[in-house]
Structure 1
């Protein structure tokens, strides 16, 4: 099969478009022919070796965690899916080796859900990790309720775009930070935009004088500390970027594969309550370019690899 792999840590120069053996399919896994694979910041961070302290890497390492595709074969113990089923998945294990930047992926059933019919392949490929992150932060860690006000930092990015929409389905008022060029975009998603950078605290207080009920930090760089000045209960602050949030009484969110949560996110898409804004698509062979664009940190929505 064709795949994107690395044989050592490094920059874009270590990325190879190569041929590798087809994956083996265990008893509780299915073989998926990938149609699209989402690109996420964690992908290039793994490539650079930044996560070596917490995840064992086995080389050659196929990158990627997100997929949308079609089941080709099922393991002997699998009853959830059958060949021909269209699925999405956040295919993460406790080590990194067999990722989703590939034509074929052996995915444990615990990482999969049925593909939302309302989404095309690119949108579906960009949904799993970002959608699960937003859902598990807002519904799980922060327990956002109807009528509350939620502040989302970096609201126009891949996770932020989905978090704005999911918070809206919960009945929350959403305030989202972004650069001025993305303010109309956030309004279309249902958020009230405020400019990030200098003066952010004052800008949020101008639209929410009493503070906010909860805050979700998707960018780091001191946003947990700033949020603590706006949220009365530190347990209502969550971050995907700042480990230190837990020491302040908040929640660090490390997204977990969960078929129930993933199905819930997919259901929102099928009900017309959640769309996946796709910023750019690249062929699988151009994964290095896709990662470079993602690493710039200025993308509106998701970057997705399309697999022939």
Structure 2
């Protein structure tokens, strides 16, 4: 496909880190793919907690910010160009990916994004662009926490703290698919939702003592706890593990989140781990895509907002006032 040189695109651009007000819609030069890179026309971009943390500067220890900057970790769209050495990504292919924003490059909140070919995956045919954009970061975090760090095995019992969020929704399904028994914490208004995903035991974190409820369900303790929330919201986590059990926390990047007490865990003969997505992510995302294509896992409930409402979307995710996984519609001519 022959692309116009020096063409521009719409993007959500930051000129500094800060609150939602630092994000502005602007016209910027469209990027061009280099060696090993794919240029994607973005249909939808996912909105993750990692996005607002990136916006506020929490990722400074992981990456260099070079302004103007475009954030956004997750995207779905179509291939429009590729570097000369890239094979297997023809023009028009429907793909989804975790962007290279974690490496300090422009991310998904733009009409076009350049992504490392090692992170780009063909979309399952049974997903639309909005659904696909909701997958990468939460699904990768859930998988990494359960299997890479938690070493979950069939027949084990797992507690997923925060089961109704996007990470939790994927974690429930992955754990059940792996043959584990699953309990979750969430508000009682989400009990029906998490049950349809496969949760076998539900605990209302607002009205029940989580430790007591877990011990009633599994008196000898659980094999694995996946804490998707952090910030000391599960203070008795180690008390709920069986001997030799594991507590995995999803990396939150929050300054007030010290994570699990690693020293105390060692003293008790328990394991603690911190999970985060590793780049490039295409190999693992491809495995998840296979599960989605076969209908063995489904996308969490989603809600779409126009790219112009990005500040509102960030406020909703940051304040926890959203019930569905939020995605931004970037292009109006793609379904």
2:62 and 2:102 in contact (8 A); partners too? no
CA distance in structure 2 between the partners assigned to 1:289 and 1:16 by the alignment: 12
Match for residue 288 of structure 1 among 276, 296, 311: 311
Name the residue aligned to 1:66: 74
CA distance in structure 2 between the partners assigned to 1:31 and 1:98 by the alignment: 12
| Partner secondary structure for residue 58 of structure 1 | coil
Name the residue aligned to 1:32: 40
2:163 and 2:169 in contact (8 A); partners too? yes
> After alignment, is 241-250 or 23-32 more displaced?
241-250
Give 1:222 shift: 2.4
Match for residue 200 of structure 1 among 207, 210, 214: 210
CA distance in structure 1 between the partners assigned to 2:81 and 2:261 by the alignment: 42
CA distance in structure 1 between the partners assigned to 2:212 and 2:122 by the alignment: 43
2:144 and 2:276 in contact (8 A); partners too? no
Give 1:133 shift: 0.8
Is 1:260 equivalent to 2:260 in the alignment?
no
Name the residue aligned to 2:219: 209
The total of aligned residue pairs comes to: 308
CA distance in structure 1 between the partners assigned to 2:136 and 2:228 by the alignment: 16
CA distance in structure 2 between the partners assigned to 1:293 and 1:22 by the alignment: 29
Cα deviation 1:231-277 (Å, max 9, x = unaligned): 13566221113563383441111211321110011111111011112
1:37 and 1:67 in contact (8 A); partners too? yes
1:80 and 1:109 in contact (8 A); partners too? no
Give 1:170 shift: 0.5
Normalising by the residue count of structure 1, what TM-score does the alignment of the two structures yield?
0.95
Q: Structure 1 residues 164, 299: CA separation in 2 closer, same or farther (over 3 Å shift)?
A: farther
Match for residue 272 of structure 2 among 242, 250, 268: 250
What is the CA RMSD across the aligned residues, in angstroms? 1.7
| Partner secondary structure for residue 130 of structure 2 | helix
1:158 and 1:299 in contact (8 A); partners too? no
Q: Structure 1 residues 161, 31: CA separation in 2 closer, same or farther (over 3 Å shift)?
A: same
**Any unmatched runs of 5+ in structure 1?**
none
CA distance in structure 2 between the partners assigned to 1:292 and 1:306 by the alignment: 17
Give 1:117 shift: 1.2
Give 1:210 shift: 1.9
Is 1:305 equivalent to 2:328 in the alignment?
yes
CA distance in structure 2 between the partners assigned to 1:171 and 1:113 by the alignment: 26
| Partner secondary structure for residue 65 of structure 2 | strand
Is 1:150 equivalent to 2:172 in the alignment?
no
Cα deviation 1:167-197 (Å, max 9, x = unaligned): 1110111101001111111111111211114
1:30 and 1:107 in contact (8 A); partners too? yes
| Partner secondary structure for residue 251 of structure 1 | strand
| Partner secondary structure for residue 236 of structure 1 | strand
Give 1:4 shift: 0.7
Name the residue aligned to 2:83: 75
Rg comparison, structure with higher value: 2
Normalising by the residue count of structure 2, what TM-score does the alignment of the two structures yield?
0.87
Is 1:120 equivalent to 2:142 in the alignment?
no
Is 1:88 equivalent to 2:96 in the alignment?
yes
Name the residue aligned to 2:247: 237
Give 1:300 shift: 3.3
Is 1:14 equivalent to 2:22 in the alignment?
yes
**Any unmatched runs of 5+ in structure 2?**
1-8, 266-270
Give 1:23 shift: 0.5
CA distance in structure 1 between the partners assigned to 2:321 and 2:236 by the alignment: 21
CA distance in structure 1 between the partners assigned to 2:122 and 2:187 by the alignment: 35
Is 1:140 equivalent to 2:155 in the alignment?
no
